[in-house]
């Protein structure tokens, strides 16, 4: 057992307990008064241990497993063997108060840490260079478990945004790093606890799982875990086990994905040849500044193809190995659309010819194209828009085809593109900004009216999140009736005790902070000061940081940092909402620059890096000379 997995906890605590089917004693510990909030995680963790026992075909070896909720904890959670530590927000659930999004995060984090009991604890990486061997797999297994056991969260849809798109976001930068990265000294480790080690590794695992098929992938992992249990392993050991299970050369396939940074964008054009469609596919590294890759990196890219006559099926599979190759898809009628990366399972982006893109629009509009594909298409377009490879008009054309869209994650991708449009417009002129806002209102208004603000009986858990997203975007675009409605909801909540649905709470707080000045700000501050629930504390703070008034923002930062009224684990959320206005962006950036030395002395590199990331991402425009 590795020494990094030892933990003791001392404090005044209470607990609830249960047993797994396999007889393991499970306990959730909290500070006094909160143990009931541990019930959800307790039940889930017991189920999770049993599920992993079977999936890995190796039983959890200890007689007990404790999960403890810690009020202030710099990491999200830590997989100490038998005493897993979590932030309160990552473990505790209060029914009726916890939002769906947060509850699904609890499920994921619980499952993530428990997956480490196999990936990391039972088989430990030989050295930190192979950190991804535990983090990439714990991340993938958390989705496997939640996907199989908590269908209400539609977790694989969220995977696309939270893992795939997040990994691509960081890996699209010129100065990204490979998944396998040389670490000389454990002090350097903080630098790789990032979206490459977690989200990219996770997404690359998913790609490989689809490529080999789940049973083969599972067989390979079982071979790996059995062979190296109570011992150490390197990446090559994993590839060997997967090669043994699949009969394929997994090392050759995967080394490009783990040993070089970045990922490809495939440019695809087509021609019809009788009953066949001939695709010309060319790969190049995707770089978010739109520039060239000096290294001319190449990947082995598993390509899947779907077509208009059977949108949910994989019509053909190819492996792209060269810079450019031609592939023939047989039995495709003239005019039928052809799409790459079915189900958005691959860690690559696709750039279509205008003709190919246009042919897909009707099936995007009718939602005949599966949701995972709709998301992938719009997310790719939004990223390509950023690089200048796609025009705003092209993006808007596809987004406008999604007027009948009903899935939260797809709207999320549209919303993200629109938010970029707003950011660009803000840089140009008042008139451009006004017109961009009008366009957004036009695109979102009907959906907003159809959805309303109240939960309807029988709808799934995603609907309220969609409602919050659409109404919040309308409010940000200055749609006055929406702003008034949100403010009324907040007033009714404070004065009459009318509950606000947890999934629309943050959106409501945000509108209040942006539109009601000091009065709303003070009410949010009061709410934050009086609640005992960490999610509400955090949401009130994120909302307050969206204030357009500089003195209020200064007051908030003073409250959080100088007066130390915000827990160190949550201080980075002070920066989160500052992207709402130019004033906020500049205030936060300046504050960060002025205090960076102090932050580096007091906080972990991970926290400071996340502050930097949030602050820089919030800037509409990064002026190099300043």
Q: Does 356 bind Zn ion (CB under 5 A)?
A: no
| Residue 144 binds to Zn ion (criterion: CB under 5 A) | no
> Quick one: CA torsion of 199, 203, 206, 211, rounded to 10 degrees?
-160
582 marked as binding residue: no
Q: Is 138 in the site for Zn ion (CB under 5 A)?
A: yes
CA distance 195 to 183: 17
Q: Which is nearer to Zn ion, 138 or 253 (CB)?
A: 138
End-to-end CA distance of the chain: 49
Nearer to Zn ion (CB atom), residue 138 or residue 544: 138
Q: How big is the site for Zn ion, counted in residues (CB under 5 A)? A: 2
135 labelled ligand-binding: yes
Angstrom distance (rounded) from CA 65 to CA 539: 31
Q: How far is the CB of 76 from Zn ion (least distance, A)?
A: 8
How far is residue 599's CA from residue 606's CA, in Å, rounded to a whole number? 11
Q: Should residue 241 be labelled a site residue for Zn ion when binding is judged by CB under 5 A?
A: no
Q: For the CB of residue 31, give the shortest distance to Zn ion in the complex, in Å.
A: 24
DSSP 160: I
3-state SS class at 75: coil
Contact in structure between 277 and 328 (CB atoms under 8 Å): yes
Q: Cα torsion for 135, 162, 293, 301, to the nearest 10°?
A: 70
In the complex with Zn ion, which residue's Cβ is closer, 138 or 165? 138
Enumerate residues 178-197 that contact Zn ion by CB under 5 A: none
Q: From the CB of 72, what's the least distance to Zn ion, in Å?
A: 19
Report 443-462 residues binding Zn ion (CB under 5 A): none
535 is in an annotated binding site: no
Q: Which two tokens stand for residue 300?
A: 């082995």
Binding track, positions 559-598, relative to Zn ion; x by CB under 5 A: ----------------------------------------
- The verdict on 90 binding Zn ion (CB under 5 A) reads no
Question: Does residue 541 contact residue 525 with C-beta atoms inside 8 Å?
Answer: no
Q: How far apart are CA 376 and CA 360, in angstroms?
A: 13
From the list 135-143, 146-154, 505-513, 613-621, the region that binds Zn ion by CB under 5 A is 135-143
- The helix/strand/coil state of 437 is helix
Does position 46 bind Zn ion by CB under 5 A? no
Rounded Cα–Cα distance for residues 567 and 569 (Å): 5
Shortest CB 193 distance to Zn ion, Å: 9
264-to-13, 100, 205, 349 alpha-carbon distances in Å: 50, 34, 16, 7
* Least distance (Å) between residue 134 CB and Zn ion: 6
Instruction: State the catalytic residues.
Output: 113
CB of 114 or CB of 378, closer to Zn ion: 114
Using Cβ positions, the residue closest to Zn ion within the complex turns out to be 138
27 contacts 67 by C-beta, under 8 angstroms: yes
Q: Examine residue 84 and tell whether it contacts Zn ion (CB under 5 A).
A: no
Of 5 and 392, nearer to Zn ion (C-beta) is 5
Choices 55-63, 133-141, 219-227, 242-250; region in contact with Zn ion by CB under 5 A:
133-141
| Nearest alpha carbon to residue 84 among 123, 116, 59 | 116
Rounded Cα gap, residues 419 and 439, in angstroms: 12
Question: Considering only 44-52, 128-136, 310-318, 599-607, which stretch makes contact with Zn ion by CB under 5 A?
Answer: 128-136
Q: Which stretch binds Zn ion (CB under 5 A): 28-36, 66-74, 131-139, 346-354?
A: 131-139
Largest separation between any pair of C-alpha atoms in the chain: 76
Binding region: 112, 116, 135
Binding region for Zn(2+): 112, 116, 135
Q: List contacts with Zn ion (CB under 5 A).
A: 135, 138
């Amino acid at each position: 057992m590795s020494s990094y997995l030892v933990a003791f906890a001392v404090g005044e605590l209470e607990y609830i307990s249960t047993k797994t089917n396999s007889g393991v004693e499970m306990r959730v510990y909290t500070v006094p008064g909160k143990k009931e909030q541990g019930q959800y995680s307790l039940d889930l963790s017991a189920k999770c241990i049993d599920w992993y026992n079977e999936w890995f075909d190796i039983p959890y070896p200890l007689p007990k497993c404790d999960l403890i909720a810690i009020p202030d904890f710099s990491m999200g959670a830590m997989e100490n063997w038998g005493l897993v530590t979590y932030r309160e927000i990552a473990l505790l659930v209060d029914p009726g108060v916890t939002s769906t999004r947060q509850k699904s995060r609890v499920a994921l984090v619980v499952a993530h840490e428990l997956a480490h009991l196999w990936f990391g604890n039972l088989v430990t990486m030989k050295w930190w260079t192979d950190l991804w061997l535990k983090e990439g797999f714990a991340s993938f297994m958390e989705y496997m478990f939640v996907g199989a056991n908590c269908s209400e969260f539609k977790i694989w849809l969220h995977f696309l945004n939270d893992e795939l798109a997040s990994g691509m976001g960081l890996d699209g930068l010129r100065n990204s790093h490979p998944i396998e990265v040389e670490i000389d000294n454990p002090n350097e480790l903080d630098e790789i606890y990032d979206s490459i080690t977690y989200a990219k590794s996770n997404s690359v695992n998913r790609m490989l799982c689809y490529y080999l098929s789940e049973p083969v992938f599972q067989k390979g992992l079982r071979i790996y875990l059995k062979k190296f249990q109570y011992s150490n392993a390197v990446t090559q050991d994993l590839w060997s086990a997967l090669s043994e299970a699949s009969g394929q050369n997994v090392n050759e396939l995967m080394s490009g994905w783990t040993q070089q940074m970045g990922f490809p964008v495939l440019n695809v054009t087509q021609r019809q040849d009788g009953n066949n469609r001939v695709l010309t596919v060319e790969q190049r590294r995707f770089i978010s500044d739109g520039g060239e890759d000096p290294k001319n990196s190449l990947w082995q890219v598993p390509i899947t193809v779907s077509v208009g006559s059977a949108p949910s099926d994989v019509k053909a599979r190819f492996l792209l190995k060269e810079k450019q190759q031609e592939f023939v898809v047989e039995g495709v009628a003239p005019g039928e659309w052809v799409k790459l990366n079915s189900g958005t399972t691959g860690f690559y982006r696709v750039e279509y010819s205008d003709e190919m893109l246009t042919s897909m629009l009707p099936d995007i509009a009718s939602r005949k194209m599966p949701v995972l594909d709709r998301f992938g298409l719009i997310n790719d377009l939004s990223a390509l828009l950023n690089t200048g490879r796609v025009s705003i008009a092209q993006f808007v054309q596809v987004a406008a085809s999604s007027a009948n869209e009903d899935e939260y994650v797809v709207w999320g991708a549209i919303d993200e593109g629109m938010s970029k449009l707003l950011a660009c417009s803000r840089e140009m002129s008042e008139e451009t900004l006004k017109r961009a806002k009008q366009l957004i209102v036009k695109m979102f208004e009907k959906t907003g009216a159809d959805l309303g603000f109240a939960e309807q009986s029988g709808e799934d858990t995603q609907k309220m999140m969609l409602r919050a997203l659409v109404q919040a975007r309308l409010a940000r675009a200055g749609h006055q009736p929406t702003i008034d409605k949100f403010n009324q909801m907040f007033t009714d909540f404070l004065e009459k005790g009318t509950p606000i649905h947890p999934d629309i709470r943050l959106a409501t707080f945000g509108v209040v902070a942006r539109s009601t000045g000091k009065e709303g700000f003070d009410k949010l501050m009061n709410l934050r000061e009086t609640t005992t629930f960490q999610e509400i504390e955090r949401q009130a703070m994120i909302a307050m940081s969206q204030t357009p008034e500089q003195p209020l923002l200064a007051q908030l930062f003073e409250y959080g940092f100088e007066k130390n009224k915000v827990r160190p684990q949550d201080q980075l959320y002070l920066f989160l909402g500052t992207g709402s206005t130019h004033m906020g962006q500049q205030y936060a950036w300046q504050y960060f620059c002025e205090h960076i030395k102090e932050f580096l002395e007091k906080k972990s590199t991970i926290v400071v890096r996340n502050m930097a990331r949030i602050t820089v991402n919030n800037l509409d425009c990064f002026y190099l000379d300043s």
